[in-house]
Structure 1
Amino acid sequence: MKALSLLFICLLLCCLSGCSTTSHTSTSNGGYYLDDGPESHPPANLDLVPNAVPRWEPYNRYANKPYEALGKWYYPQTNNAPYRAVGYASWYGRRYNHHRTASGEVYNMYAMTGAHTTLPIPCYVKVTNLKNHRWVIVRINDRGPFKDDRLIDLSYTAAYKLGILGHGTSQVLVERVFPK
């Protein structure tokens, strides 16, 4: 009986270890999943993708209500208050590309966008990588990341421009910016 139990456990572990392999050859892993990353042929010249340009937009009436995610309640800001915080940025790629965001827009991993748990949707933030001092401006149009050690999720291109793709995360400064 012990041998049968041991055999079952070994088979189970073998099956589970197969779940942890990635389906792409990139060493860059973003978001929460090991199989997230770039598509087979990402566009050339991602360096030329411009920052988001802040403009006044009405807040999304659906994406700014209190909500629960993974057993925790979040209360989005619904005003034009300043925001400045230091934390870790992660990114999400092809796993969510072409899926609806919290704003109802379709996620484009090659646009300059981001996800935040409580900033108004939409709004704009300047994200500065504190390791290399590169910065980008992204438009917040989604909710997340829902991990306690993360402050913001960035699109693939924003993470690329900040130099965090290979690491998956990096410490950043997030500052809300407004139209001039």
Structure 2
Amino acid sequence: MRLTKRTSFAAIAMASISLLASAHAHAATGCGHASWYALNSKTASGERMNPTNLTAAHKSLGFGTRLKVTNKRNGKSVIVRVNDRGPFIKGRVLDLSKAAAQNIGMVAAGTAQVCYEVVG
């Protein structure tokens, strides 16, 4: 079978999509350190940060993605919406709004070990 530019391009495109889907699936769940923040500035999505909303920052998940975040120490969970980029401190997987952090009991400590998963 003779490969044409079109079939080569299609093969490369399909491989790229497969790699991106795999990377997104990997980012769709995870565990690690989370911190919280309560700034009054614009988020990467363009909306104003509101510490009373249940929101989060993630490095790569799409804006609007909903996550269930569970504090591993006490088992408390909260549903948040990704509306910002971050965290920018090595080893952290999420930055939560103050309200989200309060819901899972991590405000006093400042950080917590959490697990998160994308929810519908």
Shorter-chain TM-score tier: 0.7 to 0.9
Maintained 8 Å contact 2:24/2:61: no
TM-score w.r.t. the length of structure 1 is 0.52
How far the C-alpha of 1:151 sits from its partner, in A, is 0.5
Structure whose residues are more often strand by fraction: 2
1:37-88 CA distance string (max 9 Å, x none): xxxxxxxxxxxxxxxxxxxxxxxxxxxxxxxxxxxxxxx98x9747110101
Structure whose residues are more often helix by fraction: 2
1:86 corresponds to which of 18, 22, 31: 31
How far the C-alpha of 1:91 sits from its partner, in A, is 0.2
Segments of 5+ residues of structure 1 without an aligned counterpart are 1-75
Superposition CA RMSD, Å: 1.9
2:74 corresponds to which of 132, 142, 146: 132
Segments of 5+ residues of structure 2 without an aligned counterpart are 1-19
Seq. identity, %? 45
Amino acid at match of 1:175: E
Q: Distance in 2 between matches of 1:153 and 1:161?
A: 14
When Rg is computed on C-alpha atoms for both structures, the one with the higher figure is 1
Q: Which has the higher contact order (CA 8 A, sep 6+)?
A: 2
Q: Distance in 2 between matches of 1:121 and 1:168?
A: 24
Amino acid at match of 2:29: R
Runs of 4+ deviating beyond 3 Å: 79-82
| Matching residue of 2:59 | 117
Amino acid at match of 1:89: A
